[in-house]
Amino acid sequence: MPASKNPRPKTVPKSFRIDESAIVAVEKEAAAQQVSPNTLVNQILTQFSEFERFAKRISTVKPSSFVFRGILEAADVDKIIELAKTAGSSIPQAFVTAKSGRVDIDSLLDHLRTLALYAHLYEYSENLDPRGQVITMIHDFGLNWSIFLVHYITAMFEQMGVSPKLEMSDRSVILSLPGK
């Protein structure tokens, strides 16, 4: 179910030559997780196709959660807000344009889902009904991360002329969008 789109995507047989050390590592990990090497290889390639190949275009780095939390705690709130506004008005657009070739509400929401799936920036929950869509992002990076997310998402949707309702606490951000 990569990026919440297609629960059972079509699979095709392919043959590749792979470095022996790499496949040994995959087989070892597959055994530890009690899944087939096929499942693991498929998920490695899906992560590359859905996230990594676009993330590198925006020079993504991967600090540990401990370091990330520490940097956020040490940062000045005004600087975080300024950074969030700048990032939110450019990064999501660059990411979704590279990925889907279009910028619209659905592709921006897919960006938020993708950040939960592959970047571990929060846990993500969405409820969709005729009244609209409510998305909850839960994290343990502290209040400054919630502040960043609120301003990042606001700037992201401003580009589309949309002003969603946003609420936050020190460990969650709730985004509400009215029904179409």
Least gap, CB of 108 to another protein (angstroms): 16
Least gap, CB of 169 to another protein (angstroms): 14
176 binds another protein (CB under 8 A): no
Q: CB–CB of 109/135 below 8 Å? A: yes
125 binds another protein (CB under 8 A): yes
Q: CB–CB of 72/148 below 8 Å? A: yes
- Report the first-to-last Cα separation within the chain, whole angstroms: 24
129 binds another protein (CB under 8 A): yes
113 binds another protein (CB under 8 A): yes
Question: Cα dihedral sign for 122, 98, 3, 34?
Answer: negative
What kind and span of H or E run contains 2? none
**Residues touching another protein: how many (CB under 8 A)?**
33
User: 113 Cβ partners below 8 Å, 6+ apart?
Assistant: 3, 4, 124, 126
Token pair for 118: 């592959």
Least gap, CB of 138 to another protein (angstroms): 8
49 binds another protein (CB under 8 A): no
- In whole angstroms, what separates CA 138 from the centre of its chain? 13
33 binds another protein (CB under 8 A): yes
61 vs 3: CA distance, rounded Å = 21
166 vs 136: CA distance, rounded Å = 10
106 binds another protein (CB under 8 A): no
Token pair for 70: 């520490």
Least gap, CB of 81 to another protein (angstroms): 26
Question: Which stretch, 24-32, 66-74, 81-89, 143-151, contacts another protein (CB under 8 A)?
Answer: 24-32
Toward another protein, which CB reaches closer, 39 or 169?
A: 39
34 binds another protein (CB under 8 A): yes
Residues that bind another protein (CB under 8 A): 1-2, 4, 7, 29-30, 32-35, 39-40, 43-44, 46-47, 65, 113, 116-118, 120, 123-130, 136, 140, 179
